[in-house]
Amino acid sequence: MDEGQLNYQNMLLHIKRRTKLPKPIEREKGVSLWSIIKDNVGKDLTRVCLPVYFNEPLSSLQKCFEDLEYSYLLDQAYEHGKKGNGLMRILNVAAFAVSGYSSCDGRLCKPFNPLLGETYEADYPEKGVRFFAEKVSHHPMLIACHCEGRGWKFWGDSNLRSKFRGQSIQLDPLGVLTLEFDDGEIFHWSKVTTTIYNLILGKVYCNHHGTMNILGNRQYSCKLKFKEQSLLDRNPHQVLGFVEDINGSKVATLVGKWDDSMYFSFGDEILKTKSSVSTDNANLLWKRNKPPTDPTRYNLTSFAITLNELTSELKEKLPPTDSRLRPDQRYLENGEYEKANAEKLRLEKRQRMSRKLQENGWKPRWFQRDSEDATFCYTGGYWEAREQQKWDDCMDIFGEYSMN
Ligand SMILES: CC(C)CCC[C@@H](C)[C@H]1CC[C@H]2[C@@H]3CC=C4C[C@@H](O)CC[C@]4(C)[C@H]3CC[C@]12C
């Protein structure tokens, strides 16, 4: 190792991220969703503005980065492929595609809906990744993201179509995700349907169901089935799948749960064990990290807890559009609910003008798409601008309001 590498290693050892959210300043209170709903009978429920108390202190942009908690699976996938093992590559990619769902477990609060032009950066050299996202459209609500890792790039946009069904809401992600390895191998897939149950009565929870097709441009592709929820299910959250080679023969099977772990075995042995699916002879691909000891009412994972941290060092570098600078979200994180609510109302008023902005030709600052139905792609330049603190063309989206 030369001196430069040593310094770099040293820097990684000194990255300290927080392990807890700040202690709430005001006391937490209980509010029932029902009390809100009964005041809004007859209105389109997806448009009802909920008080900040139903939010978690993260924006949807930050939530996108939560899908990269297990990015090491993609590093491994890259290494396997480099050594000529395309099968292990796609198995790791499949485990990655499932792993993103694990953070949903026990999460009952809404993320903040970012303002038009709001951005979020995440520079995690200790994981070897750098992530960037921007809210690129308000109607329809669209978020674009781009992430670079060790030997791969990952990008996509999230376009959720939501259907309200009385007791539940069904969310269908329409966007396509792309993963490109530095050696040219590319995978595409879309996320499955998420349903949120018990909006009116009982305990809110969500489930993910449907088929995910991971299509590669070389030897392999993979099909994963997220099981539909059924009453009295002894084995909920199950994911089953297989890898197919170019001739259509099944060369590996996958089994696991989106909130826990994924296993694989070569051939199609797993599915042959009739009644229940066993992982006895299977190999572990991915296991979820342990939850933090003090989960708080938001149930954030240890990784999610780090996402909204704002150190004084970072504050100097961020553009004025970063989610970490959003005042209502910061107040909520600090447990100042009254102030958070007041700020949320102010920003939502601004948000309502976004439609006009877009109609008048507003364009995202960091992403672009070729046509109406193409994926938004990063145009580059964010990290370079950050280097020079060149933020003069970034809008002051959160207003003159200053936080300390
Ligand atoms: C009405 C309120 C109080 C109920 C709580 C709603 C919670 C459970 C909802 C609100 C927004 C939802 C998220 C919105 C978008 C996505 C992306 C999708 O690809 C996976 C599910 C995921 C991550 C959803 C999980 C459930 C979620 C967090």
Render pLDDT for 345-392 as a digit per residue (tens, 0 to 9).
Answer: 999 988 888 889 999 999 999 999 999 889 999 999 999 999 999 999
What span, in angstroms and rounded, lies between the C-alpha atoms of 91 and 83? Answer: 15
* Side-chain-side CA neighbours of residue 22 (13 Å): 17
Angle at 241 between CA 237 and CA 245, to 5 degrees: 165
User: How many angstroms does the Cα of residue 195 sit away from the middle of ligand 1?
Assistant: 8
* Side-chain-side CA neighbours of residue 391 (13 Å): 16
Which strand (E) or helix (H) includes residue 137?
Answer: strand 129-137
User: How many angstroms does the Cα of residue 41 sit away from the middle of ligand 1?
Assistant: 22
Cα–Cα distances in Å, from 39 out to 32, 35, 42, 122, 349?
A: 12, 7, 9, 39, 20
Does any ligand 1 atom lie closer than 6 A to the CB of residue 191?
yes
CB atoms within 10 A of CB 17: 13
Predicted confidence at residue 271, as pLDDT, reads: 56
Nearest protein Cα to ligand 1, atom 28: 110
Does any ligand 1 atom lie closer than 6 A to the CB of residue 37?
no
At residue 366, what is the residue type? W
Question: Model pTM greater than 0.90?
Answer: yes
Nearest protein Cα to ligand 1, atom 10: 110
**pLDDT tens-digit series, residues 6-51:** 888 888 878 899 999 999 999 877 666 676 666 666 666 556 667 8
Does any ligand 1 atom lie closer than 6 A to the CB of residue 36?
no
User: How many angstroms does the Cα of residue 110 sit away from the middle of ligand 1?
Assistant: 6
Closest atom of ligand 1 to 104 CA is 25
Does any ligand 1 atom lie closer than 6 A to the CB of residue 59?
no
Which strand (E) or helix (H) includes residue 359?
Answer: helix 354-359
Q: What are phi and psi of 27, to 5 degrees?
A: -70, 145
Contact 343, 355 (CB under 8 A): no
Contact 394, 147 (CB under 8 A): no
Predicted confidence at residue 20, as pLDDT, reads: 95
Contact 93, 214 (CB under 8 A): yes
Question: Looking at beta carbons, which pairs linking 360-363 to residues 24 or more positions away fall under 8 Å?
Answer: 362/116, 362/117
* DSSP code of residue 365: S
What span, in angstroms and rounded, lies between the C-alpha atoms of 295 and 217? Answer: 41
What span, in angstroms and rounded, lies between the C-alpha atoms of 189 and 186? Answer: 10
Does any ligand 1 atom lie closer than 6 A to the CB of residue 145?
no
What span, in angstroms and rounded, lies between the C-alpha atoms of 15 and 23? Answer: 22
User: How many angstroms does the Cα of residue 350 sit away from the middle of ligand 1?
Assistant: 23
Closest atom of ligand 1 to 63 CA is 23
Which strand (E) or helix (H) includes residue 341?
Answer: helix 337-351
40, 48, 64, 107: residue to mutate for ligand 1 pocket, most atoms within 8 A of CB: 107
Predicted confidence at residue 180, as pLDDT, reads: 98
194, 258, 301: residue to mutate for ligand 1 pocket, most atoms within 8 A of CB: 194
Nearest protein Cα to ligand 1, atom 12: 110
At residue 49, what is the residue type? C
What span, in angstroms and rounded, lies between the C-alpha atoms of 343 and 239? Answer: 41
Predicted confidence at residue 47, as pLDDT, reads: 63
User: How many angstroms does the Cα of residue 169 sit away from the middle of ligand 1?
Assistant: 9
Does any ligand 1 atom lie closer than 6 A to the CB of residue 104?
yes
Does any ligand 1 atom lie closer than 6 A to the CB of residue 110?
yes
Contact 131, 143 (CB under 8 A): no
Per-residue pLDDT of the chain (404 residues; tens, 9 = 90+): 788 888 888 888 788 999 999 999 998 776 666 766 666 666 665 566 678 888 999 999 999 999 999 999 999 999 999 999 999 999 999 999 999 999 999 998 999 999 999 999 999 999 999 999 999 999 899 999 999 999 999 999 999 999 988 889 999 999 999 999 999 999 999 999 999 998 878 888 999 999 999 999 999 999 999 999 887 888 899 999 999 999 999 999 999 999 999 999 998 766 555 445 667 778 999 999 999 998 888 999 999 999 999 999 999 999 999 999 999 999 999 999 999 999 999 999 888 888 899 999 999 999 999 998 899 999 999 999 999 999 998 889 998 543 43
User: How many angstroms does the Cα of residue 104 sit away from the middle of ligand 1?
Assistant: 8
What span, in angstroms and rounded, lies between the C-alpha atoms of 27 and 330? Answer: 16
61, 177, 196: residue to mutate for ligand 1 pocket, most atoms within 8 A of CB: 196
Strands 110-112 and 177-181: unpaired
Instruction: State the residue for tokens 């190792």.
Output: 1
Instruction: Tell which residue, 334, 304, 285, has the closest CA to residue 122.
Output: 304
User: How many angstroms does the Cα of residue 119 sit away from the middle of ligand 1?
Assistant: 20
Inter-axis angle of helices 86-99 and 72-82, to 10 degrees?
A: 170
Does any ligand 1 atom lie closer than 6 A to the CB of residue 196?
yes
The tokens for 363 are 């364009």
Cα–Cα distances in Å, from 201 out to 166, 309, 333?
A: 11, 34, 27
Does any ligand 1 atom lie closer than 6 A to the CB of residue 56?
no
Does any ligand 1 atom lie closer than 6 A to the CB of residue 209?
no
Assembly ipTM = 0.91
Instruction: State the residue for tokens 């459209």.
Output: 137
What span, in angstroms and rounded, lies between the C-alpha atoms of 235 and 230? Answer: 10
Closest atom of ligand 1 to 100 CA is 20
